Structure 1
């Protein structure tokens, strides 16, 4: 087992990833810029300590990654619209650059990091070229948040070439905790409410599983994978939703009744990623 640094460890997804890695026998160095006494107590209950680190400072990034075997990098402004556009682009890009270069400086064995479904063209105000949307439907950033992820994927490719470290970008769909599923019935009446990501989502526990699998997958260079639930967040058939909301978009293959329109085929094949969780296990539909 390895020592894994998790950045953004105190965030919504980060806490689930930390707990999963600990449960599977890894030692975890948990890093977050938000690291007050209550945050440290929460992380202690999960089973590790929390180190405060501002990853926009390269020196802190280098220090924080010393002695670790691998990095799961989740720390970023997590969505568009939370801060002014330029701040989102600049902050995320600096953090990603610093973590990637610090990983190379410290000669870690693997970097797994949170890219985004937004790199694929979200919010699909312009319809996708085809569905299911896969890794090749890229790059189509429509916000500075998405652009920060595209820039990160480009940087990762070159740092991987220079360093020989495999970089795995997980293009995460809209992450849900189990308690978030109580909101799901509110999406059903109007299919346009969630058209922005083709009705996609992913359970945080499945994100944690994808991160863990990506740490040991047989990959080289820098590779990217769509990570989504196996189904959509709607109770209507996926092909029916696509035909109604995006009538000009063709399906490239047959799909299951409620199958995701964000293709996870490549993640399944290369990483062994098979989502285990669905809102359908929690909400009466």
Structure 2
């Protein structure tokens, strides 16, 4: 397919572009920054005219798209004032999704977030592990993700055959970032992420699978590694941090508290890059003269 990836210069964006090209797709990046060339066009997603024009076609780049992957966003609260975080992200997403509808693009995958399910406090959880049926926003970044999911759920009713898949990514870790897992024995480590993580390459694999299995309508999937980022057993973490929240399944020793059962069952998602292996590799690299 010919696929546009917004946010192509970001951590997940770079991995996604690499994965989709390796799968044989023709990929063009849309972002404010990127390497000049046939695989990139500078697009300001705050400008609807630019977005719609880029989706319809760009001279010397493409004459129409088969699919769209929307990953661009201010990634966290704090980079700009809170209201600006919400306004920037929701505006960009609306421009991209609405523009795609107008451009006749039927397959869309968009980045949602663990922040749409209670981050960072998870104070009102109803069950563990947390699945896609639970939604709660505790900051303006999260509120934007909830709004974007709601927009997507409505837009699929505007045109027959339209598919939008929202992927709720947890913290994305690049291969060179596994040094932080030295804290894996601290029960407070990654508490604000339900102790979860996902390798950027596995995040990109989830995008590829969502495109492959796209079907008309709107779906949400959690995207995380199958294990926690901890050496502390998951049941112990659940009892320590969420003593009043029912645990609805038998937990594996280090099973993630951010359920990926739906993505496994429906998309065939099975992450390959787990922190114990990656941390060992990182340690070996640090020891090499």
Match of 2:47 in 1: 57
User: Counterpart of 1:141?
Assistant: 137
Please tell me whether residue 173 in structure 1 is matched to residue 170 in structure 2: yes
Q: 1:103 aligns to what?
A: 100
Task: Give the Cα–Cα distance (whole angstroms) in 2 for the partners of residues 65 and 29 of structure 1.
Answer: 11
How far residue 33 of structure 1 moved from its aligned partner, in angstroms, is 1.1
Deviation of 1:220 (Å): 2.3
Q: TM-score, normalised by structure 1?
A: 0.92
Alignment of 1:264-279 (within 5 A): 264-279=260-275
Question: In structure 2, what is the Cα distance between the partners aligned to 1:272 and 1:218?
Answer: 13
Correspondence 1:114 to 2:111 = yes
C-alpha distance in 1 between matches for 2:276 and 2:54: 40
TM-score, normalization by structure 2:
0.91
Which sits farther off after the overlay, 264-273 or 20-29? 264-273
Q: Hey, what does 1:94 align to over in structure 2?
A: 91
> What is the alpha-carbon distance in structure 1 between the residues aligned to residue 229 and residue 125 of structure 2?
18
Name 1:13's counterpart in structure 2: 12
- 1:182 aligned to 2:179? yes
Q: CA deviation at 1:51?
A: 0.8
**2: CA distance between counterparts of 1:158 and 1:246?**
34
Matched, 1:204 2:200: yes
Range that drifts further, 22-31 or 118-127: 118-127
Q: Tell me the equivalent position of 1:227.
A: 223
Gap change, CA 1:218 and 1:95, over 3 Å in 2: closer
* TM alignment of 1:70-85, pairs within 5 A: 70-85=67-82
Q: What is the CA–CA distance in structure 2 between the aligned matches of 1:28 and 1:64, rounded to whole Å? A: 13
Q: Which runs of 5+ in 2 are unaligned?
A: 57-63, 284-289
Unaligned runs of 5+ in 1: none
Against the structure 1 CA distance between its residues 16 and 99, is the aligned structure 2 distance closer, same or farther, given a 3 Å change threshold? same
Matches within 5 A, 1:1-40: 2-35=1-34, 39-40=35-36
- Taking the aligned partners of 2:225 and 2:18, their CA distance within structure 1 comes to 20
CA RMSD between the two structures: 1.4
Matching of residue 243 in structure 1 with residue 234 in structure 2: no
Task: Give the conservation status (yes or no) of the 8 Å contact 2:90–2:144.
Answer: yes
Structure 1 partner of 2:127: 130
Contact kept, 8 Å, 1:115 with 1:153, in 2: the verdict is: yes
Matched residue SS, 1:236: coil
Aligned counterparts of 2:279 and 2:196: Cα–Cα separation in 1: 16
Q: Secondary structure at the match of 1:114?
A: strand
State the shift of 1:74 in Å: 0.3
The aligned residue for residue 259 of structure 1 is 255
Tell me, in whole angstroms, the C-alpha distance in 1 between the residues paired with 2:189 and 2:199: 19
Is 1:163–2:159 an aligned residue pair? Answer: yes
Alpha-carbon distance in 1 for matches of 2:96, 2:193: 28
User: How far is the alpha carbon of 1:127 from its aligned partner?
Assistant: 5.0
Say which SS state the counterpart of residue 132 (structure 1) adopts: coil
